Amino acid sequence: MKFGVMIKEVLPHLTKTPNTILYPFQRVPVPEAFRGKPVLDTEKCRGCAKCACEIICPAEACKKISIGDCIDRLAFWYDRCIYCGECAERCPFDAVTMTHEFELAAYDTESLYAHPEQPQSEEALAIIEKARERKKLQAQKAAEAKKAAEEKKDAEEKKDAPPAEDKE
């Protein structure tokens, strides 16, 4: 290539602004439909775990964790998450939302784990109390059914057992 032809190509490009930006100092706004870090709203979450099933989450990044005796909440592992948005789409209560946060670099993996929180609103606490009562009632019914089944089994064994003979 001749020097004159090369100068004609290079000179216009020297005066243009670069096509890239200085990323940490200049930010490009993310699109509206951008799927970043998933976040759980504990006030809306009912602990149904329809969004946490290992079948739904391809990366197994969200799992159901029990906080108390009957409170189930989601925990997210952001180092596993592929940000597909399935958890947000499947949540029937819109408790999981995808944020625009994508800068999740960390020095330790513990900071990439979203611990479940206890809900604070009166409505959520009332729902939790109802769930506790329902769980106690289910446990009582299960205990009664087990006791009835054992009594029925004992009665059948006594009925089927041959009479005891006295040996003298």
- What is the per-residue pLDDT across 39-95, written as a single tens digit (0 to 9) for each? 988 888 877 777 666 678 899 888 887 766 656 777 889 999 999 999 889 888 888
Give the CA diameter of the chain. 130
pLDDT, residue 105, reads 87
Radius of gyration of the chain (CA): 31
The strands making up 62-66's β-sheet, listed across from edge to edge, are 62-66, 72-77, 113-114
Pairing verdict, β 72-77 and 96-98:
unpaired
Find the mean pLDDT for residues 140-147. Answer: 91
pLDDT, residue 37, reads 92
Q: Under DSSP, is residue 149 helix (H, G, I), strand (E, B) or coil?
A: helix
Q: Which residues pair with 38 in a beta bridge?
A: 98
Does residue 33 carry a pLDDT above 80? yes
Does residue 13 carry a pLDDT above 80? yes
pTM, full prediction = 0.59
